[in-house]
Amino acid sequence: MPDEPKTWLVAGLGNPGPEYELTPHNLGFLAVDRLAVRNGVRITRPESQALTGLGKVGNSPVILAKPQTFMNRSGASVRDLLARYELSAANLILVYDELALEWNSLRLRPKGSSAGHNGVKSVIGSLGTEEFARVRVGIRPEHALSGNADFVLAPLRRAQMLELDALLDTVCQAVESIIAEGVEKSMAKYNRRAQGSKEEE
C-alpha cells in the first residue's frame, strides 16, 4: 500500500487587526490567506490562539494557521497546534517576512536561526528546535541597507501593492512545492533574488 500523504501545518506570521493587515510584517498572514483561496480552504476556526482552516494541498492534508497572539508571541500558538494535531516540527512550514532580504525576493530553508526575527525566535523558543521548513519573503525596500519597526508596521506602498498579487502567488507556489516535492527540490526552484538585483544573501 502507498504511504499516507504527510500532514502539514502551514503557519503564517503576522499581527491581528485591520490596522496591520496590509503591512510588510503581515506577509505571512497574507500568503496563508492566498494559499487558502487557491486550495479551497476557509480559515475560520478559532483554536490554540490561532485562526485555522483544514483542507488539502494536492493530496496532502493541511492545517493553515494564522496565530492571533501578535507576532512576538507566535510560538505558543504554533506549538499548541502541532501538539493538538499530533505533529512534530518536521511537519511545519513557517511563512514570514524577512527584512534582511530585498522586497520581492524569496528564500526557502529546511532549518536555521531566527536571524533576529522576533516571531521566528518565539517559534524556535516554544518548539525547542530550529529544524522546521521556512519560506522567507523579502520586504526590504530597494536601496535600503536595513529597516526598522516603523517601516515593517507601515502600510505597503503603492508600488509594492501593484506587485503584491504576483508575489503572494509565487509564495504559495513555493509552499505547494514543498508539500509536493520537499524543501530541497523547492529551494532549487524558488530561492531567488529580487528582479534585477545583483546582491547575494
Instruction: Please list the active-site residues.
Output: 25
Q: Can you give the three-state secondary structure of 70-118, one letter per residue?
A: CHHHHHHHHHHHHHHCCCCHHHEEEEEEEEEEECCCEEEECCCCCCCCH
Q: Which amino acid is it at 41?
A: V
Q: Which residues contact 38 (CB under 8 A, 6 or more apart)?
A: 172, 176
